[in-house]
A and B are shown apart, each in its own frame.
Chain A
Amino acid sequence: MKSLSELAAIREQMKDKVAIRTGSGDIRVVVGMATCGISAGARPVLNTFVEEVAAANLTEKVMVTQTGCIGICQYEPVVEIFEDGKEKTTYVKMTPEKVKRVVEEHLKGQKPVSEYLIGNTKL
């Protein structure tokens, strides 16, 4: 059975790490989490981002955050990616499977997945 004392162990482990704060903010992934997003499946999309970003060792570079309604409810789940000096990327009708490709190709490979962009998605 897990006990809270494991948190003390996590604290010890982290002590030596320089950057504990997640995401210095080079890249910001924002998931819409209002009613429209949640009912369309935003929760697993958000959590897949959190997991895949950690699995790809990108937690220092990429910050995964939540926001309310982005205003295009019919395209939910909507994910916006903000990068320094670049235009915002808007991915729509996201799924956990699509998230894996976005992490691999966009966040790691720096090449947006064009099929999932708002301009290329049918309703």
Chain B
Amino acid sequence: MKDLSLYILDIAMNSVRAGAKHIAIRLEEQDVVLTLTIQDDGCGMTPEQVKRLFDPFYTTRKTRSVGLGVPFLQMLAQQTGGDVSISSKSDTEYADHGTLVTAVFHTDHIDFIPLGNLTETIVTLIQGSPNVDFIYCHSMSRGSVAMDTAQMRSILGEDIPLDNYEVLNFIKSYLQEQYQQL
């Protein structure tokens, strides 16, 4: 994948597929270290499942026999001198189930890739799952960009879904302008 925003979309799609109601995507840049966390309250995984997650031949999908998302992210992080770690609580054992994916990248490494269009990734996620609460926060030394769809929904009311075209357009420019203001 050619930029980090596509990896983020892909990993967050795992959270969507796990039935999460809340998904928080955070990017924190400190000097040359970029930390990405994606936290969800989806079905989670058992320790056994988490162990197998880094193996591309592990997937619960039925359409093909390999799962590529997590191995791809790990490969990218490790190439830059960072790594991926996953902690998860399965709904078979915990009431407060969910998954936390943490990926660390070194942005000064020659194998680091561009961040890409993060706004587009967030808008795509909201379009696909208008009923999920998404939190997005990207903090950099020069400021931060943030958004919370639960807050937006409380202003919009129950009748207007977040995948309404005008609303999606608003969210897109809301994020774009925050990035421009930095």
Spell out A's residues near B (CB within 8 Å).
1-2, 4-8, 10-11, 13-14, 20-22, 33-36, 38-39, 43-44, 46-47, 50, 54, 59, 64-66, 68-71, 73
Contact = CB atoms under 8 A, between A and B. Distances in A.
Given A36-B68, A38-B1, A43-B124, A59 B177 contact: no
Given A11-B155, A39-B1, 13 more contacts: A2-B173, A10-B160, A11-B160, A13-B166, A21-B161, A35-B69, A38-B9, A39-B72, A43-B9, A44-B120, A59-B165, A68-B17, A71-B63
B170 A7 contact: yes
B63 A66 contact: no
Given A7-B156, A7-B167, A47-B124, A38 B17 contact: no
Nearest to A13: B166
B64 A69 contact: yes
Interface residues of B, number: 38
B165 A6 contact: no
B23 to A, nearest CB: 14
Contact of B72 (A8, A35, A43): A35
B64 to A, nearest CB: 6
A118 B156 CA distance: 41
Nearest to B148: A4
B181 interface: yes
A92 B177 CA distance: 34
A47 B123 contact: yes
A2 B177 contact: yes
Contacts of B166: 10, 13-14
